[in-house]
Structure formats: structure tokens, C-alpha cells
Amino acid sequence: MDRNIVLTERDHERLQEMLRWFNRNKNIRHQFRRRNISIKRVGINFKIFEVQSEATGDGLYICREEKLLSEKWEDETGEDKFDEKNTTEYTVLNLLEANPESEYVAHLTAGDLIKTFQTVDDNGVLRWIGTPLRDDRRRIAYCKDDAGVGSTIDCYLDKDETGTEITVHCNISQGGGVLNTTMPRLRDGDPIIVQKIFDGTNDYWWCVGLPFAPSIYCTCGGA
């Protein structure tokens, strides 16, 4: 015998609430599944390598994989928490040297650590690439000319006369001024420390560590 089921308005509200609950929790479970997969992939591909020698070419270094030592995790005596995993050697590209200057100078030395992952080049070959775990943006530049009118000076990066030519910005204190009237007074060939800084739109080379200030002239007279 067939029965006619009559749903009240309250029954409709309960069914709608159940459907909303189901859809809400289904989306949450889906997000967690995607998040767990992403974390697992990062964990598989991410490695720490140690440089074994000077660069073999523009930005390429011979490296060995490192392992994190569990017994050193809470060590407070200053000992290294990483050690060599094995003696297998890999060629790793330092991404900060992927577009090297015309007069190439290696940024890293033996013992430096690189955070690396694998990617595929345009021929389908797996390559190791990464960035160093230290700030290597500070470089030496050599003034191309004497200081002139303005707050910038042209320099050679890494090597005088043969390095890549760059424009270096200088901070002048006490309301500003121009470099050819400030102290210290930069001359052709003077070495300065520079750093590339991103201002939110572009990268600029800046002179760091030198406090440029306007010169003060005074006339001394006798009685």
C-alpha cells in the first residue's frame, strides 16, 4: 500500500541545513587533501646541499647532499646541525648567478649551503637549482670615474676596468648634496661595498657602509 509522505516547512528547513552542512564539510576535506599533497611534494623535492669547491662555470657548483642531525637539534654549544649524507656529487646552479655579469666572479665558496630543488630543462633533463642560505648580495665595486654632480656614480662590479658596469646610488646625509662636494670624496678606482636593493618596482645598486656628508668650508683669518 503506497503512502503519501508530507513534508512540513520545518522538515524542508532541516533538509536544507543538512545539505549546507554536507557541502561545507566536503569543501574543507577537499582543501585538506590538496594541502597535504602539496606539503608532501615539497618535502620530497626540497634538499640542502653543501658546496664542495669553487664554481665550475657561470653559477654552477659541485655539491653534496646534507642531512639534518637529530642528536644536534637541541645542541647549544654552537656545533653544526648538518653533516654530509654521502659522497655523491651533484652539479647545482645558484639562481642568484643564473644571469651572470660579463666578468664572472663566483659568489660561493666551499662549505656554503644551498637550498635546492629539481626542475626540468627544455630538453627534458632534470637539473638541480637553488639559492644560497646566506646573504651574498653585498659585492665590491670600483669607481669608474671621479665623483661628479649628482648622487650616483658609475662603477665596475667585482673587477676594476673589466667588471660589469653598474650605476651605484649613494645616500648623502644632512639634506643631501652632490658627490663631488661630499666626504669621503670618491675617486677613479676607489673600491666601495655595494648591495642590490629592491624598492618594490625595480632593483638598484646602493653603496653601503659609507656615511657621505656635505663638505664644510670655513675661512680662517687672523687678527
Between the alpha carbon of residue 214 and those of residues 42, 57, 91, the distances in Å are 52, 43, 49
In this prediction, residue 51 has a pLDDT band, given cuts at 50, 70 and 90, of: very high
In this prediction, residue 136 has a pLDDT band, given cuts at 50, 70 and 90, of: low
What would you measure as the largest C-alpha separation in the chain, in angstroms? 130
- pLDDT value at position 38? 43
State how far the Cα of 82 lies from the Cα of 111, in Å rounded to an integer.
11
- pLDDT value at position 41? 45
- pLDDT value at position 60? 95
Contact indicator for 145, 75 with CB cutoff of 8 Å? no
| Grid cell in block for residue 199 | 624598492
SS3 216: coil
- pLDDT value at position 44? 47
- pLDDT value at position 40? 44
Listed in sequence order, the residues at least 6 apart from 101 whose beta carbon sits closer than 8 Å to its beta carbon are: 157, 158, 163, 164
State how far the Cα of 123 lies from the Cα of 126, in Å rounded to an integer.
9
State how far the Cα of 125 lies from the Cα of 94, in Å rounded to an integer.
17
Whole-model pTM? Answer: 0.55
- Taking residues 185-198, what's their average pLDDT? 91
State how far the Cα of 163 lies from the Cα of 59, in Å rounded to an integer.
16
Percent of the chain with pLDDT over 70: 78
Q: Which domains does the chain have, with CATH numbers?
A: 47-132 (no CATH), 138-214 (2.40.50)
Helices (H) and strands (E) in the chain, counts: 1, 12
Task: Kindly report the average pLDDT of the chain as a whole number.
Answer: 81
| Grid cell in block for residue 126 | 632534470
pLDDT tens for residues 57-93?
889 999 999 999 999 898 888 788 899 999 999 999 9
